[in-house]
């Protein structure tokens, strides 16, 4: 690995044999006097990391150390110490520059390219994503403590913003559930505070795979970040996601999403709960009614409505019957849990609804 294509084609020469490195004292790995199982490092690995320890010992931060970190990262990209050393060198030699309307500084651009290539090669490595985050922070002058950026030029920010979104999109095209890519994407969206178009992207992912739980998580992150919890907005979102919900009723993520969505509502919460209950009813009596997450939410919402003074003896009776069905047939592996829910439900509503429930049974 290196920062340039020219260097990447150069055959490795041991640092101990390089005249320009003779002034550095390599430090071998110390595994103690009697290691139980000595690690069998390759000769090249030992050579490179002996010199890494040597320059750390002297505190040298130079361009040749930057080149040394390339070799070290190529041999072990998960080594945090080497990545931190690389960042220390970059700062010391003045590579990081704030982005402007023309883009990144040429030398800084090379570092972005280096890191992006590493991400493409090792997509689930914490260190490469952390390094990319550091590069972006430098480029925009982001201060984590104040959540502010030095760069104010919209054109310059747009260049980097689109670049980072495209990077994560490319990685997610390989694996739509890559945690590191999602984490980086959420961080980028949050510091740039631009969520326009993100719901459309999530819609496409859910269209491709409605069981993409990472996309459901991203949808919730975006919706809550936009901070519009009006009844109109919540209803619009409910309508939008319902098309995905009914495609895979047994998938827990969309039901968790709806639960979280309704919790964002204020005074309109009962109205939205009634709407979800009404939409679930057609499925409850059919074979799709074996969806445990759907029935769990359905029971929870009816429980809430009854607690909020929405008396309905038929729904009380229905929930009791459903819970019995959950215990005996649908989800017997969690029978004790549903029995607990049954006890809570009857204790909460039995005094006011039990007589009505009995009348419903008699009339039936």
Torsion of CA 156, 157, 162, 163, to 10 degrees: 70
- Residue 86, φ and ψ in degrees, nearest 5: -60, -45
Long-range contacts at 59-65 (CB < 8 A, ≥ 24 apart): 60/24, 61/88, 61/89, 61/92, 61/93, 62/89, 62/92, 62/93, 63/89, 63/93, 64/20, 64/21, 65/89
> Is 124 one of the annotated active-site residues of the chain?
yes
Catalytic hit among 16, 117, 124, 336: 124
Q: How far apart are CA 2 and CA 7, in angstroms?
A: 6
Task: For CA atoms 321, 322, 327, 330, give the dihedral sign.
Answer: positive
Beta strands in 103-232 (DSSP E): none
- Residue 61, φ and ψ in degrees, nearest 5: -130, 90
Q: Hey, which residues does 100 pair with through a beta bridge?
A: 103
Tokens describing residue 73: 């990262």
How far is CA 202 from each of CA 29, 237, 250, rounded to the nearest angstrom?
48, 13, 20
Q: How far apart are CA 66 and CA 70, in angstroms?
A: 7
Residue located via tokens 């309704």: 262
Tokens describing residue 225: 């970040």
Contact present, 133 and 82 (Cβ < 8 Å): no
Return the active site residues: 124
């Amino acid at each position: 690995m290196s920062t340039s294509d020219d260097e990447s084609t150069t055959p490795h020469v041991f640092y101990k044999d390089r005249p320009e490195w003779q002034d550095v004292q390599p430090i071998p790995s110390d595994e103690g006097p009697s290691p139980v199982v000595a690690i069998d490092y390759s000769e090249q690995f030992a050579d490179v990391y002996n010199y890494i320890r040597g320059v750390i010992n002297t505190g040298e931060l130079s361009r040749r150390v930057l080149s040394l970190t390339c070799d070290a990262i190529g041999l072990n990209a998960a080594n945090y110490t080497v990545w931190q050393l690389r960042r220390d060198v970059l700062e010391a030699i003045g590579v990081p520059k704030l982005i402007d309307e023309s883009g990144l500084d040429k030398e800084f651009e090379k570092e972005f390219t280096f890191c992006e290539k590493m991400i493409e090669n090792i997509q689930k490595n914490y260190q490469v994503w952390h390094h990319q985050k550091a590069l972006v922070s430098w480029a925009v002058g982001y201060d984590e403590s104040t959540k502010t950026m030095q760069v104010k030029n919209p054109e310059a920010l747009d260049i980097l913003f689109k670049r980072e979104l495209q990077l994560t999109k490319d990685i997610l095209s390989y694996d739509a559930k890559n945690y590191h890519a999602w984490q980086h994407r959420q961080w980028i969206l949050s510091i740039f505070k631009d969520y326009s178009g993100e719901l459309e992207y999530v819609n496409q992912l859910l269209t491709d795979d409605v069981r993409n739980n990472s996309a459901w998580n991203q949808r919730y992150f975006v919706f809550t970040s936009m901070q519009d919890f009006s009844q109109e907005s919540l209803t619009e979102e409910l309508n939008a996601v319902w098309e995905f919900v009914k495609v895979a009723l047994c998938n827990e993520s969309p039901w968790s999403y709806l639960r979280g969505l309704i919790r964002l509502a204020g005074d309109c919460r009962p109205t939205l709960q009634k709407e979800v209950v009404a939409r679930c009813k057609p499925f409850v009596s059919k074979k799709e009614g074996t969806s445990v997450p759907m029935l769990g939410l359905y029971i929870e919402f009816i429980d809430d409505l009854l607690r909020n003074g929405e008396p309905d003896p038929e729904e009380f009776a229905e929930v009791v019957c459903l819970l019995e069905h959950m215990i005996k047939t649908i989800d017997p592996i969690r029978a004790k849990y549903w029995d607990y829910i049954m006890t809570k439900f009857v204790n909460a509503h039995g005094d006011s609804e039990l007589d009505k429930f009995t009348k419903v049974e008699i009339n039936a």
